[in-house]
Structure 1
Amino acid sequence: MSTDQIERSIVIKAPAERVWRALSTPQAFGAWFGVQLEGEPFTPGHHARGPITISGFEHVIFNAWIERVEAPSLLSYRWHPYAIDPHVDYSGEECTLVTFTLQPSDDGGTLLTVVESGFDKVPAHRRVDAFHMNSKGWEAQLQNIARYVVQ
């Protein structure tokens, strides 16, 4: 089992265009992810930043740098994983890369896969917790986007 990357997938019973809008539009992304974001659709070089709205994590600021946007099949960004301590400056750490890919599924829906890689570069004292929490987090977030898209 890799300790450098997390990979999770889900089949969403919706067309890729609908899943893509939920990924690439800040307001829609924020609605299912649990972050208050505004602005134009994500574009490479864009900095997405806003407060987390999930209970117990309201003190955390979502901070991501959009890297690739290939509509309607790929979106990636970099961020500091599990950066939840408001008293820690994470800016000196390397970011992990989060990549969402969309593909048609056999049943006419959309296979959404998220891969977060680069955990081996997270400082050793944070690596295990960041990997563990984000592993659980991506499982929950894929369920969240599926619910959001099919509602």
Structure 2
Amino acid sequence: MHSSDRIERKILLKAPRSTVWRALANAESFGKWFGVALNGKRFVAGERTQGQITYPGYEHLVWDVQVARVEPERVFAFRWHPYAVEPDMDYSSEPTTLVLFELEDMDGGTLLKVVESGFDNIPAERRLKAFRMNSRGWDDQMTNIETYLAAP
């Protein structure tokens, strides 16, 4: 089923759930594989977390999320403005998308599911590009967390 409203990715990570959870829910660890400087930051449900993006080509941007859910070793979720990359544009009045990470024990490791939903509410002139860029971005991020967890 193809949906224009949501991006879904899954990856089987060869690590115990507690280790995957730390890579997701510990802001400093998350920043290392996701490409955001989050030293000294924490993810707290209901609070905003911001950090300088360190991903090449996007270093001029601030990553800004509203943490929605933190359910230890199960669910981590935040809301953000997808592909908000124009430094002169104010995205604050636009609707956000919800990024939901879910963990599940599997033979051989932990299944990480990521769903980003809410693209149908993004302004029409930005919707397709935001969907395409984030779709590609989640492919990269699944590789990034796998690489991060495989490092000694």
**RMSD in angstroms over aligned alpha carbons?**
0.9
**Who is 1:50 aligned against?**
51
**Mean alpha-carbon deviation: is it higher for 35-44 or for 63-72?**
35-44
Unaligned runs of 5+ in 2: none
* 1:43 to partner: Cα distance: 1.6
Task: Please show how residues 56-135 of structure 1 align to structure 2 within 5 Å.
Answer: 56-107=57-108, 109-135=109-135
Unaligned runs of 5+ in 1: none
**Who is 2:6 aligned against?**
5
Q: 1:49-99: per-residue Cα shift (whole Å, max 9, x none)?
A: 011101111111100000001001100000000000000000000000000
Q: Distance in 2 between matches of 1:29 and 1:13?
A: 17
If the length of structure 2 is used for normalisation, what is the TM-score?
A: 0.96
Aligned pair in 2 of structure 1 residues 22, 50: CA closer, same or farther (>3 Å)?
Answer: same
Aligned pair in 2 of structure 1 residues 64, 14: CA closer, same or farther (>3 Å)?
Answer: same
Q: Distance in 2 between matches of 1:91 and 1:33?
A: 22
- Counterpart of 1:67 in 2: which secondary structure? strand
Hey, which bits of structure 1, 4+ residues long, moved more than 4 A? Answer: none
- Counterpart of 2:116 in 1: which secondary structure? strand
What amino acid sits opposite 2:96 in the alignment? C
* 1:39 to partner: Cα distance: 3.2
* 1:132 to partner: Cα distance: 0.1
Paired positions, count: 150
**Mean alpha-carbon deviation: is it higher for 51-60 or for 118-127?**
51-60
Q: Is the 8 A contact 2:41 2:49 kept in 1?
A: no
- Say whether residues 1:150 and 2:150 are aligned partners: yes
